[in-house]
Amino acid sequence: MESAGVKTADDTTADKEGAGPDVGARQSPRRSRLEPRSLVRPAVIAALVVFALLEIPSLFSLYYVDAWTQVAIYSIVTLGLGVLVGRVGLVSLGQGAVLALGAWVAARLLFATGLSYPIVLLGAGLITMVLGTLVGLPALRLSGLYLALITLMLAGAITVVLTTINFPNGGRGFTGYDGSTVHIPPIRRPSIATTDPAFFRYSMIVAILMFVLVFFHIRGRPGRAWAAIRQSESAALAAGINTTFYKLWAFALASFVTGVAGGLVAGSFRYLNSLTFTTQDSITLLAVVLMGGAYSLTGAVVAAFLLKFLQALLNDWGVSPDWLTILFGIGVLQVLTTAPRGIVEQFPKDMARLGRLIAGLFRRRAPAAEPAE
């Protein structure tokens, strides 16, 4: 969205140290990347983030502030799924269930302990990471289609378990569920963010931290290994990459951030039950990630916006959410057949094409003034 018109493809090359003396001649084109032009994108994003953080609570009604909270939280989920789908080429059809798992763990910790909220989020992330990775382990050595299928089944299985043991409602025991309770206490929120606007800001800051975490992964060694695995498993192995290990790493990272997001879901909904999460969620998540563009971090935000803001908007207008489901279905088919890189990259491309068309018109009139490309 906010990246419209700015190229997203050259993320990975920007930050490199100064060059050695023997390649002096080659430095200049790279140096130019650090010139103001390449700072435009981060600056615009930073400005938008700060603006959203400060102004959304005052610009929107409480209903829409809550919608934006959901966008912030679910952007973490789509971010995690985007890493799997876009960076490594692993399709998971079980992220909705992983999110539910994170929410369960967080709710349980919040009822059982007096731990501060950030610690609970971290705990939910780590426990979800371990559980999510363990179950996906056997499928990681198999081809992508098998992984997708096993994660779909995993989603079904987790849903069954969570439906059976129920979400914690302040009861005792391992499950923390007491079916006879009449007065159900709400799930605790962070003490600094008990109101909706404050919780929005809190969620957004957590989301920013998760984006930063993923950003450094992508820029670093795992990001390079993932790019190789995505392109070709054999090429990755030939480059010395332990493909199983790095796939596992991606899985763990995605499960971790999704678990953290689950912790935020618990605090944002305050009352959880098995109807909060459905198996269909996992598929809808994949749909919006593909539509938003799994290849860029901005795509994750777009995906969350499609998922949660549109939903709130349609609900406000009294339109059935089924239309959204239909739209997502059409979106998946459209993206897979014509624009595999999603809206985020398709839109600038269309704009660039338009630009070239206009430039072409001018060029024909004044052929002498042809710019060097």
Partner 1 sequence: MIEVSGLTVRFGGVTPLDGMDVKFEAGTCGLIGPNGAGKTTFFNVLSGFVRPATGTIEAFGENLLKMAHFRRARWGVRRTFQTEQAIEELSIYDNVAMVHEQSKGSSGSRREDTLASIEFVGIKSDPYAHVNTLGVGERRLVEVARAVVGQPKLVLLDEPAAGLPEEETEHLSNVIRKIPEHTGALTILVDHDMSLVSGCCETTAVLDFGKLISSGPTEQVLRDERVIRAYLGTEENV
Partner 2 sequence: MPTWTDVEQFLVTGLSLGGVYALSGVGMVVLYRATGVLNLAFGAIGAFGAFIAWQLINHSSVSFWPAFVVAVLVGGLLTLAYGMVFGPALALRDPLVKATATLGLALILLGVMDLLWPSSGGASRALTVPTDNNTFQVGQISVTYTNVLALVLGLVVTVVAAAFLRFTKLGTAMRAMANDREITASLGVPVRRVTAAAWFGCGCLAGVAGVLLSDLVALDATALTFLVISTLAATLVGRLRSIPITFAAAIVIGVITAELTPISSLSTYRDMTPFVVAAIALLFLSRRRVISVGRQGV
Tokens 């003396």 — which residue?
21
Cβ–Cβ < 8 Å for 77, 128:
no
User: Is there binding between residue 225 and partner 2 (CB under 8 A)?
Assistant: no
Task: By CB under 8 A, name the one of 264, 272, 294, 300 that touches partner 2.
Answer: 294
Stretch that binds partner 2, among 33-41, 185-193, 215-223, 324-332 (CB under 8 A): 324-332
Do residues 132 and 98 make contact, with C-beta atoms less than 8 angstroms apart?
Answer: yes
Instruction: Give the span between the Cα atoms of 287 and 245, in whole angstroms.
Output: 27
Q: Which of 62, 142, 313, 352 binds partner 2 (CB under 8 A)?
A: 142
**Residue placing its CB nearer to partner 1 in the complex, 65 or 79:** 79
Judged by beta carbon, residue 121 or residue 297, the one nearer partner 1 is 297
Eight-class DSSP state of 307: I
Query: 146 contacts which partner out of partner 2, partner 1, none, CB within 5 to 8 A by kind?
Result: partner 2
Residue 59 to residue 171: CA distance in whole angstroms:
39
Q: Which residues contact 285 (CB under 8 A, 6 or more apart)?
A: 77, 78, 81, 95, 96, 307
In 10 A of CB 67, how many CB atoms? 23
Cβ nearer to partner 1, comparing 19 with 49: 19
Region 31-70 residues binding partner 2, contact defined as CB under 8 A: none
* Residue 194 binds partner 2, judged by CB under 8 A: no
Residue 302 as a binder of partner 2 (CB under 8 A): the answer is no
Cα–Cα distances (Å) from 124 to 106, 226, 238, in that order, read 5, 25, 37
Measured CA to CA, the distance from residue 247 to residue 226 in angstroms comes to 8
One residue of 25, 145, 361, 368 binding partner 2 per CB under 8 A: 145
Contacting residues toward partner 2, per CB under 8 A = 85-86, 88-91, 93, 135, 138-139, 141-146, 148-150, 152-154, 156-157, 160-161, 163-164, 229-235, 237, 278-280, 283-284, 286-287, 290, 294, 320, 322-333, 336-337, 340
